[in-house]
Structure formats: structure tokens, C-alpha cells
Chains A and B, each alone.
Chain A
Amino acid sequence: MSVQALHAPEVDAPPDARRIDVRGLCKTFQLAGTAIEAVRDVSFNVRRGEFVALLGPSGSGKSTVLNMIATLLKPTSGQILIDGVPVIHGRATPNVGYVFQRDTLFPWRTVADNIGYGLELAGVPVAERKDRVNACLKQAGLEGFGNAYPSALSGGMRQRAALMRTLVVEPQVLLMDEPFGALDTHTKIDMHDVLLRIWEREQQTVLFVTHDLGEALTLADRIILFSARPGRIKESFEVDFARPRNAVKIRETPRYAELFQLIWHSLGEEFIKGRKP
């Protein structure tokens, strides 16, 4: 297959296969009297069980788009449907989990209590909660840290705990905003493997925001490339590595280098544009 053939046009999945459906999304912020256009007319959709990465330079409106989908921000215009139902600003959509760009573990709860938080809210009985939390601790390699407070954990461990806090309630849609952005390269690749294993088993629909091309290539089925501000969709690429993937090995294949180079060029243009005022 040639590299060019990978340019996927914005093919629409049939409506009943669309888990996340975004149409004509715009967002303009008012900041001290001036209007900042962060997102301009963004439309895309994510199929059931698909892993899509939103890639773009800093300030290109990736978080803004994700936050609108997560109901944290109100779109200026446009429509967001999850499983065909419009989302409502300020009201959490059931079955949708969100992993933050920033560490938001509750410092006053132990790691186990942080992970069990969603279950506690849902009124899951203590015994069952304990089992599920323990399973999560094990999966995240955090055995023995259940009773520690987040302040006693390293950055990578905290991010794993944060991931588990979202996953414990078994959401079918996962919105992730640069969840590994603050980690060093090796820890990051470890986390990719953790996430890949979970995703291969659970097959959630994932929308993953990142500005790290390597990360997007490792994880995603499809990469949506954002332009510099105002954020628009510039291009879209299918990533056809076989699954299950290995986060380390995949980086050593010629195919990876080929794709990397192709997208890198396009992304680089946007980084340069983004730097100009």
C-alpha cells in the first residue's frame, strides 16, 4: 500500500455505527472584551470501538473540542451527539469517561479511595467496590499502594491511578486529554502498553488528544490532524498497524518511520503557523 493511499477522506461511518458524532462545532471565547476563535467548524465522527487521536500543535483547540464533547464547555454553535443523543452542557453523559490533561486525583483520598470514587457515587456495595478496586490496582501495577495518598506516588503512578479512576466504572466512551503529556518518554511508552492492553480487551471508543505524533501513531486507528488556531481539521490519516500492538516494537518498524515522516511534515507546518501571533 502506498503512503498516499492512507489519506483517508472524511468518510462518514453509517449513522448507527457512529458513537461520537460532531457536526459544525465552533467555539469563540470572550477574553477581556476580545473574541478568540478557538475552534472553527469542526465535524468528524468516531465509530464504535474505534481509537481516534486528535493531533495538533499547542493552542489549536484540541482540549476545547474534547471539553465540549465532555460537556465541560458549551459550544458557540454546532452539535455533538453521543450514540445519537445530543449532549447537554454541564450534565455528565452516562458511559463517557474523561481523563484529564492535569492531575486531578483527590489528594485527600487514598489511591484506593480515588479509584473507587465513581463506584462510591453509584452506590456500589463496599465488598464489590473493594474487589473491583483491587483488580484495577493490580492492572495498573499499583499493588501495595492502595492505602497511600497520591502525594506519595510518582507522576507515572498517579497517571495510572487517574486512568483507573475513570476506567473502574467501565465507560464505553473514553475521552483523554494528553493523559501522558507530563511523563518522560519511557514512562509514557509503558503507559501506552497499559492502555493498549486495556483497550484491546474492552474495545472502548476512544478519542485521544495529543500533540505527540509518536503517541498518536502507537495508539490510534485514525489520526485527525488539527490546524493552528483557529482549530480546524486539516487532514485525517488511517493508521494500519496490526493489533495487538507493542508500543516499543512498533516504533522500530519501517512503516512507523514512513508514516511518521509523512504526518510530521504536515504537523510541522501547523507548528510554525501556530508560533506566529
Chain B
Amino acid sequence: MSADDPPGPLRAIEIVALGDLDAEILDALVRGLSRRVGVPCRHAADIPRDALPRLAGRSQLDADAVLSLLAVYPATEGAILLGVTAEDLGHPLFTFFFGRARMGGDAVVSLHRLDPAYYGLPASRNVMLRRTILECVHELGHIAGLRHCRDYRCIMRFSGDVDVIDLRGRGFCEACATHLPRAMRHALHA
């Protein structure tokens, strides 16, 4: 995707609930993300549990197959589809992903490993929501064409560990911000 050839300005983010998702969490996420990004965010659709692609022999969703599913899912003009799931996201070659995105396409984020309860700590809905929103912004950065950034102060820093999500910056570093296409800059980098 080239920055000279914008797909038109980003107008909305449409959240697709993948499988069973607590309605309150979904609501809080829609509100939180709306505050964080500069475009409206809404709960657009649900894909039932049974329709979700899974990895053979593993109790995980196949992240890339989920993205392929979202790619053919109807979306409003100018909107990005953001799949959210409580299940774990996996990949044939990787044990898990917090989230996964395609440049110029859609994204999926899993709550599974973002709740402190996953690591044997007291469960915290707030911590989980905060991490989920940050992870969503990171994946939106990928959709906008950004790759990972070495800067710890930047949200585009790769995280394979939940600590990194908590430690890295909440926004884009200057270098990444300048690479955001204009169509998405207003939404991601206020």
C-alpha cells in the first residue's frame, strides 16, 4: 500500500464480535476505543462460535484464517473491521498472537491473554480493557501500513509479552506518526 494512493479517509471502526463475548466488555471496549481514536466506533456484527476457523489440534482460532474471513465480510464504505474475541489466537507457525492485522485490510485482537487472570494474577477488567485498546491501536497502525518500531516509547513496538504492552508508549513515535497515511492520521494520531 502506498501513501500516495490513499483508500479514502477512515470514517469508522466496526467491531465484529467473534464467538461468545461478554456484552458489558464489548460495550466498554466500543466506548473506550471511540475515545482513543478520532472516528466513531460501533459494534457492527457477530460471527457465531461455530463459524470461526480453528487450528487443527490446538484450542485456538487460526488468526490468519480469521482475517481472511473478515476480508470477505460486508463492511460500510470507509470503515475498518476489527474482530474481537475472548478466545486465544494462534497461527500454524506461532504459538499465539495478541492481535493480527493485514496492511490495508482488517484486524483481529484477542482478549484471552490480556486479562491478568491468564497469568495467575487477580482478574482485572480494567487492565484487560486498557491493554485491549492499546493492542487495537497497534493493529490499526499495521493496517495503516506501519511495521514494528524499535522505540520503546512507541505503540508500534512489537509485543510478544504482555509486559511490553504495559510498558511501551501509548502513542506513535514521531517517525511512525509521519509514516501514517493522511487518510488515517486524523483517526490514530490526534
Decide whether A and B assemble into one complex.
no
